[in-house]
Amino acid sequence: MKLFGLSLSSRHARPMSRDKADTLLLLLACVLVLAPHTAHLPLWVTGIGMALLFWRSWITFRGNRLPPRWLLLPIAAASMGGVYMNFKTILGQDAGVSMLALLLIFKLLEMHARRDLFVVVFLGFFLMLANFFYSQSIMTAVLMIAAVVVMLTAQLSFQYTGVVPPLARRLRSGALIVGLAIPLTIVLFVLFPRIQGPLWGMPSDAGSGRSGLSDRMTPGNIAKLALSNDIAFRARFTDAVPPNPKLYWRAIVLDQYDGRAWTRSPSQRDLSVPATLATRGMPVRYQVTQEPGSQPWLFALDMPQYAPQLNDNPVRLTQDRQVQSRRPIDARVRYDVVSYPDYTLHGDANPDDLQNWLRLPSGYNPRTLQLAASLRKNIHDDNEKIATVLTFFGNKNYNFIYTLEPPLLGRDSVDEFLFVTRAGFCEHYAGAFVVLMRAMGVPARVVTGYQGGEINPVDGFMTVRQSDAHAWAEVWIAQHGWIRVDPTAAVSPDRIQRSVVVAAATEPVFGGLINLNIGHDSFVGRLRFRWDAINNGWNQWVLNYTPERQKGLLRSLGFGNIDWQTMTLLMCAIGAIVMLAIAAPLLADRRKVDPVDAVYVALCRQMARRGYPRHPHEGPRAYARRLLRVDATLTEEKKQALRNFLALVEQSRYGRPASSRSDVLSKLKSLLNRIR
């Protein structure tokens, strides 16, 4: 019976030839290496690569000849030209990786000798390293370890000259090689003198796709950010963790409004002398591990006492208590912060100096200005003005709604929000509140950052995600300074008590048929916490193993302030000990050479020097017959000694010797001396 041109019968299919099996294993290893690159390679490169890999697999299955060079060269040249046209260069990260991926695939179509195998293997190893240019996550590391094991197994498979072990045993051998390298790798990772920054450059996932907060706020942009579950930063508290309503992570202060967007005024950007801060009560000490992004903001709870320190990136505390670095945070950073929840900020300010926080653009939001004017006629106390506006937002008769999907607003966005849609996210309420406050004569500004966080019970770190992005207001009250007012709390108190992630985690789906509860006590929630803890440990101790972290670890082990020369000597010493510890069992486990075989090998070497080497297929008897026939220089006495020697070796190997092994060995040595 034939199906699709293939003959099927009831007999067992013939086993695949060794050459085909080894080549397919090599192709599998290359697929594991190239698969992660498809996420960032141009689509046409991925398409050509898949087509060529399929072509190579088909050639292997069918046993056809490899394509001639006159066919491959034009395709390869056109592909290289396509890379140049796509990237306008053949240098650089993306262009170089694209070319290497294509070269690896083309080399698979041109494997004619063993050296071609090594070229493919080395290109594969280099492309494994190139994967870490784009992602250094723990899953990428696990996938690359699997690719290394398969690649080593494929290389070993091509090296066997006799009987080939089963695939499972070869995979164990490849995994054993990787396992033997792990202890020395750990020593080198821990003790090799670290340098600031990465060796080749930051992976592209360090900042790409992580827009984070911006210094420009328009209606809806924080709502879009809140749909992301990406991690913004993690914090570990030295002191007691403040309650969730106190977790306001300050980032950007926006004081200028043009009718559509809130931004930072140029004058405020240049003020680097912080406003006076009077603190009360106990401080909150914590360490922040911030994910990379494209902005220079650092995050601190209200209100930071001083600017944290970063290596090679100076940090300043601005006049309005923003923590800002000189350059964007394009790498994961860790810094210590001390904040005071109970404070008075700029309480001694002169009201005449606060005019910048009273400005509103002309010609915008007339209904809002009319509302503020009507309220201002009857209310003269600033605290009462604040309470009146908050009551307005919280009044259920006005049906204000807190939603992640607010409707689009027109030119007079605050008017439309307050009197038409009445549905918005935190930036709608904060922006409208500040406009009303300014229109009522109260200095006010918008602050953006994050609110809340989620404690991981596994490792004790608080995780703050992009979904926790938030906007609130600050108003200036005489003798009290700048105080925080969150109008969102008047509309949706649950947003302040619980993070968006936790609130959304308890929502049923499909009308309640399936409840995807990922709360703290659910099974899925516990798995999520454990996975987050593993990722955090990877980030803290692998990706963020900085020179300071290395020196701190060595100091905790009792080495004090160690310099790089001493560290290098320590690394070499411990590395040598580890290598000896690995090599000792392997050397002890080596199969001991049989003394009889050793004497037999000595005879074979002597005969080989005379021009008569033993062939691999020859046993002692066949070797003796050939030597006695072709070696005319042997005397009769030496011929007899040679006969007795090889007969005794044969009897010792395959028969039952008449005397003890020591006697056999003694006789063989005596006969060998007579032959010599």
Known catalytic residues are 426, 470, 486
Tokens representing residue 407 in the block: 């409707």
Query: Which residue reads 């709502």 in tokens?
Result: 223
Specify the pairing of strand 323-325 against strand 297-298.
Answer: antiparallel
CA–CA dist 95, 91 (Å, integer):
6
| Cα separation, 397 vs 403, whole angstroms | 18
Q: At 406, give phi and psi (nearest 5°).
A: -70, 150
Does residue 586 sit in helix, strand or coil?
helix
Direct distance between the N- and C-terminal alpha carbons of the chain, in angstroms, rounded to an integer: 68
Euclidean distance between CA atoms 184 and 575, whole angstroms: 6
Q: Are 28 and 21 in contact (CB under 8 A)?
A: no
What are the backbone angles phi and psi of residue 32, rounded to the nearest 5°? -60, -35
Nearest Cα to Cα of residue 230 among 454, 40, 467: 467
Beta bridge partners of 257: 262
Tokens 């140029």: give the residue: 266
Task: Give every CB contact of residue 19 below 8 A, 6+ residues apart in sequence.
Answer: none
Nearest to 552, CA basis, from 566, 541, 538: 541
CA 187 – CA 184 distance, rounded (Å) = 5
CA–CA dist 232, 464 (Å, integer): 6
DSSP string, 131-177: HTTT---HHHHHHHHHHHHHHHHHHHHHH--SPPPPHHHHHHHHHHH
* Rounded Cα gap, residues 666 and 596, in angstroms: 10
Contacts of 279 (CB under 8 A, 6+ apart): 303, 305, 340, 342, 343
* Burial (0-12, 13-18, 19+ Cβ within 10 Å), 163: exposed
Q: Are strands 401-402 and 423-424 parallel, antiparallel or unpaired?
A: parallel
Closest CA to 69 of 102, 29, 107: 107
Q: Which amino acid is at 458?
A: V
Unique residue bearing structure tokens 């903001």 = 297
**In angstroms, rounded to a whole number, what is the distance separating the alpha carbons of residues 386 and 409?**
25
Give yes or no for a contact between 411 and 458, defined as CB atoms under 8 angstroms apart: no
Gyration radius from the chain CA atoms = 38
Contact 199, 133 (CB under 8 A): no
Q: Which residues pair with 284 in a beta bridge?
A: 339
Ramachandran region, residue 171 (left: φ > 0; alpha: ψ -120 to 50; beta: rest): alpha
Q: What is the rounded distance in angstroms from the CA atom of residue 545 to the CA atom of residue 539?
A: 8
What phi and psi, each to the nearest 5 degrees, are found at residue 337?
A: -135, 145
Long-range contacts of 562-570 (CB under 8 A, 24+ apart): 564/193, 567/191, 567/193, 568/193, 570/191
Element (H or E) spanning 263, and its range?
strand 262-263
- What token pair was written down for 597? 């075989």
